[in-house]
Structure formats: C-alpha cells, structure tokens
Amino acid sequence: MKTTHSLFYIILLMGLLNPCRQVVSQVTIGVDKAPHKGALLQVEGDMKDNDDPLVNSNKGIGLPRVYLDTLAGDLGQTLDSLLTIEGTLDKDEHIGLMVYYGKGDYCSRTPIYRGPYLWTGSQWEYMGPSLRSPGLGVLVDDRPQKDGKKQEYLYHSFGPAGTWMLENMRYTDESMTLGVPSGRADSYATAYYCYPNVDLSNPTKEPKTWTPLQGYLYNYKGATLGTVLPGETLDGEIYQGHGEPDELINGQPIVIQGICPDGWHIPTDREWNELEKEIYENPNKYGEFPPNTVFQPAKWDEAWNTSFTGNGGPPRGADNLAENGYSHPAIMLSKCENVNGRQDRSRPIIAGGFNILAVGGVFINGRTDKVTVVKYADESIFMTVSKTRSVSTKEYTTIWTRTTSRSHSLHRTQTNRADLLSVRCKRDNP
C-alpha cells in the first residue's frame, strides 16, 4: 500500500484538532513552544537533556481503537453496523481517516488484521505487515458445477510432502446427488454429497452452521466420480495402504483425480503419512507454538506409517507430547474453532496452516443401515483412495482414513466406502 508523510500529517490533523472550534494558528502539542514554520500541527515530548536535533519525543501517538465489522461498504457501518445509520459518515469527506483495529480476525480467507487502517474512500486499507505466506497460492476451479459457481481454493507447499489444498473440497456436478444414502447398498451404487452437520430430516437444506471452508462430505463413489481401477471390484481382495501389496499398479502409485481439479488428486494413505511426517518434524513452521517446540521423539517414527490406531488402538499424538504438553495433531487443527478450551495451533489459512475444521462425517451402520451424523465440532475425517480389508468386519469395502480429534489425537483408521467424509486434494507435481 502506498503512504506518504504528508498523508500522515493530514490524518493527525483530522484526529487531533478539535472540529468544533475554528483553528486560526499553528499548534504544538506536548510542549510550550512554537511549531516549525511549515507545520500546522507539531507533536513533541518534554525531553530534558536531549541534544539530538532529530529527536524530539520519547512517546508516540495512540490511534483510536475501533472494531471493524467489515473493510468495505458504508463507512459508518464498517465501524458500527448496529448503531450507525447508513450514510451517516460521508465516505469522501473522511478519506485519510486512520484507526487501529485491536482485535484481528485471521480465520477467513480474507482476514482483518490487527493493526492500523487507512480509509481510502471505498475501503479500509491495512498499513501493517501482512501475515500472508509468500508460498500461498490460489487455484481457480472453473469446471462447470451444479450451482454454476466457480470455486477458489487456497493451497500451500508442505516441503517434501508436496503441495496440498488448505480447504475442504466443495465440487459438485450433475452426476452427484445432494443428500444422504438410504443404506450402504445405495451408497455403493450412487454418488452422494451432503453438508456437514446435515439435518437428516431435510438433507438438501443448507445448515446454518455451514461455511464454504467446511466443504462438503462425499461417499467414495462421489469423491472418485465412480473411478474404477483396472481389475477392481467393489468387494475384491485389495490392499492399497502404505507398504501393502497392491499399493502400486503396474509399478506406479495410484492416482485418482475424482472431484479434484485438473492436475490434482485425492491423496493416498502413503501421501497422508508423508504430510503428517513433515508437519510433525516442523511444528514451528506450520503451527503457532512456543519457540523451539520439539515432540518426543523428535523424528517421525516410521512404524506409524502402518500402525492401525482405530478399534481402540492408541492414536498418534497420545504418547509424543512436547515438553509444553502439545501434540502434533494440534498443528493441523484450526485455532479458529477452539472448542472446550482446546488450544488448537494451526497457523491461519492465510499463513499457510493446514487449518483442519472439525466437521465430522455421516456414517451408515453395516447391520441396520441406520444413517448417523457423527462428531460434528469434535472430529474431522479425511478420505484417502487407498482401499483395504476391514480389521473388524473382514470386508474389502473399506478405505484408509485420517481422523483428527479435538482431544488432539490423530488416528490412521479404516472407514467404509459408503460413509460420507471430507476430502482434501494434493497437486500431482510438487
């Protein structure tokens, strides 16, 4: 943003001169002396024994602290939308007005920073240093969608783990049905998507709790857009987890684009392990922790790549706390949804944090076909495309998933392909 010294003095005049009296002379504030000839307003401090002509104060000017409802729109309502009538403050007369927003809102894709702001006539412009990561990218998904809207997704590099989206997918097309399946057989046959925290009595209605950052939940057929790999059947014996026999097809890793934009794909079990390892070993790079936070052990345990933490097994993060009591799932969880005092520590999305939102999922009971909304505001369950055999049911209709909990535990577990889960995409080329 462009600023000048002359603009700053104009702002001082507007903020410090009494608008109710006619000013007919030059003014010095802080000491009893005449201002310099070229200054309408001069601010100094009483500095005894100071012989430096370039220093005239040991104090600064405190800007008025305000709450900014928005950064654009009617000037008066950006400052106080509840009490100020639209049109009360003339937007052009107040060009150059300067305020300080002391709270800060870093949770949206377009954050309102804590710091000084300047009114330009149409919006408040931030005058401080930006938190935006230089590695943050914006992907425009202009594929035709059911609602006719283009989608944009923020993404960031995670070092050797590649480039990942920082938002849950919200793609839809005409092949997909908005709602929830009637049972597992229906879910295996039909591509479904639904809102997190869906009202099962009215499953097409958008919940009041929904925001675009939460994305949609998808069953496996919906997320993969029905992609079938060579030689694959719904209940065929297949093991595609990290290090398992069918992880490669013709010597190559499994790549299923599904609902992801061109050049992106739904991650595999191995790719989720690689992401976790990168975040685990670099907590201060991706999370907001006390300096030099180190987990115990300091390096990722390669045995975790194939450990099964579902079915009552110990979650990752249960025994690898740092000295300050934090565990690595906290790095991935959004600090913007602090539930029950949990200190979630992902950097804001604008700063390149992974920013997991606890949107839960929709599960279908294998015996009764009962549909249940699970763990909203407590867990987030991410899909991989890696299929395997269920440890509990011995069926081959399950996939490896990642469940991150507000209790700061992270599970590598199995979920039936009929269930509806969140999806993040990874770029094909790092």
Q: Residue 149 has what pLDDT?
A: 83
What torsion, rounded to 10 degrees, do the Cα atoms 160, 278, 382, 189 define? 30
199-229: buried (b, 16+ CB within 10 Å) or exposed (e) per residue?
Answer: eeeebeeeeeebeebbbbbbbbbbbbbeeee
If you search the block for the tokens 């639209």, which residue do you land on? 86
In whole angstroms, what is the distance from residue 114 CA to residue 15 CA? 20
How many CB atoms are closer than 10 A to CB 34? 11
Q: Please give the structure tokens belonging to residue 351.
A: 């700063």
Q: Within the chain, which residues score under 50 in pLDDT?
A: 1-24, 339-340
Q: Residue 53 has what pLDDT?
A: 80
Q: Residue 104 has what pLDDT?
A: 81
Paired with 388 in beta bridges are 398
Q: Residue 233 has what pLDDT?
A: 82
Per the CB < 8 A criterion, the answer to whether 357 and 168 are in contact is yes
Give the pLDDT confidence of 53-101 residue by residue, as tens digits.
888 888 888 899 998 988 999 999 898 877 678 888 999 999 999 999 9
Per the CB < 8 A criterion, the answer to whether 300 and 320 are in contact is no
Paired with 29 in beta bridges are 43
Q: Residue 9 has what pLDDT?
A: 42
Give the pLDDT confidence of 347-396 residue by residue, as tens digits.
989 999 999 999 999 999 999 999 999 999 889 999 999 999 988 888 89
Q: Residue 35 has what pLDDT?
A: 85
Model-level pTM? 0.83
If you search the block for the tokens 């702002």, which residue do you land on? 11
Q: Residue 320 has what pLDDT?
A: 57
Q: Residue 342 has what pLDDT?
A: 56
Q: Please give the structure tokens belonging to residue 260.
A: 């992801």
Give the pLDDT confidence of 25-58 residue by residue, as tens digits.
788 888 888 888 888 888 888 877 777 888 888 8
Q: Are strands 124-126 and 151-157 parallel, antiparallel or unpaired?
A: unpaired
Paired with 423 in beta bridges are none
Q: Residue 366 has what pLDDT?
A: 92
In whole angstroms, what is the distance from residue 128 CA to residue 113 CA? 8
